[in-house]
Structure 1
Amino acid sequence: MSVNEAAETMVAKLGEYAEFYDGLSFGVMSFVPIGTRSVLSLDTYLMGSMASTLRGMAALVTLGNINDAYALARKLYDAALIGTYINLYLQRNAQPGKPLVERIDRWITGARALPRTGEIGKYVDAAQELNAVRPLLSVPHYTAVRDRCNDQTHHNFLDHLLLNDGRVHLKSRAEWIEQLGADTLDIIILHLAYSFCLSGHYMMSSDYMDALEAGMTPEHGSEDWVAPYVQAFLTEKVEPRCPGLIAALRQETGMELEG
């Protein structure tokens, strides 16, 4: 595949991923977490930010700035871990009618930063709540993804600098674009696996809530229906890359996933 073909393919895929995250950001909006002062789901903001990061990556790939795009992939990875950490921490510590969860609330108000990424990663890695999907997410594989993102961010090799100037001929440029595409999808798979494992209702179709808002009784079992765009993304993008994840999520959450 030529450099131009690799770049065009990558940009198209990033656009699809961003559109999916836009939909998910809107879909989870009403799931307001207890233990915080937020009036919307915190994941609405996080997923909207991830959609913007993906569009930023697409713009950089179009310009030929592959190294900069990798730096944003590292940012995407951080967002995936932060979102998982927040959901885990709130599920463990928040209770209705109890005081706000200080660690998360102070992050919301800007009074205190969250722990460093390394500490967040250890917290997530140790979470038994994620055991249903963790066997499908190879630790060595994701360590390699993280290492590539870090190497590019810190210019650990000369090639990384050269990748950021599309005018420079580099034999491996098309290969690096394809690798960036694979790493980006893997980061998204990690995030969705963790998010849906912890909050299966994030996959829910709008039928249940639409009925309630219309003053109607929702159809029996409709709270377990999966939004078509979520099912399509999992089937077409995720399952080929991570076989068995749909089945694991179906067993863990009870959602009516196909595949």
Structure 2
Amino acid sequence: MLNRTSRSVTLTAAGEALQSALAQPFDEIGSALDVLNRFRDVPMGRVRLSVPTEAAEFLVGPVMATFLERYPEVEIEFSVNNRMIDVIENGYDAGIRYGGTVPQDMVAQRLSADIPWLVVGAPSYLDRMGTPVNPGDLQSHRCVKIRIGDESIYRWEFERGDEKIEINVPGGMTVDQGQIGLVAVRDGAGLMYVAEPMVRKDLRDGTLRTVLEQWAPLGPGFHIYYSSRRQVPAALRLFIDLVRELRPLGL
């Protein structure tokens, strides 16, 4: 490998070939480290999130213009659906859910304040069918039923002081996406149980009215969750920090 004299040491042809072969992997390692340093100086990368429809519209959507402006090298992919899926098994870096439904083996961080749940109806429906005074009155109303992420039909939950009630409501329409049901409810199809952000504008302009206000419960807000066995990608950390900074649904 080496030619030695009393005054110098030089590579043989075989030694030069070995040096060339060994240099390439080390050069690639150096290039990889340069890329890593770019992550520190200029945030970049790609993350995939599974997000329910309400979170997509009222939590994620309002922050994305700012996020993309601040971090143009970061790419975020959202899959919007209400199904209960294993985010890790399905290739997502994280998921967003209401606090009470986050899997127990995940690390979770709160992204919003707790959320009021309301029963709403159009003035035309309430004028025609009357206004329920207590949850039991719902049995004589048309209600839009909700199929939740585990494929069961949601039992509407009510609280007043220490009293808690769950109602299996009647109705001829079932949805697994709230905005579809609200289109029908605005036209007088019946009553619907919704998260307050979904109908904030409707209540403000009078398109919808609330009923059973004294029974309205306060539910856990949105949380983002990810595996405790994985390092949190830098791009995901930036997204979490921005949502918590801008607080589109309070915090």
Do Structure 1 and Structure 2 share a fold, with TM-score over 0.5? Answer: no
What TM-score comes out, normalization by structure 2 length? 0.25
If asked which structure has higher relative contact order (CA below 8 Å, sep 6+), I would say 2
What TM-score comes out, normalization by structure 1 length? 0.24
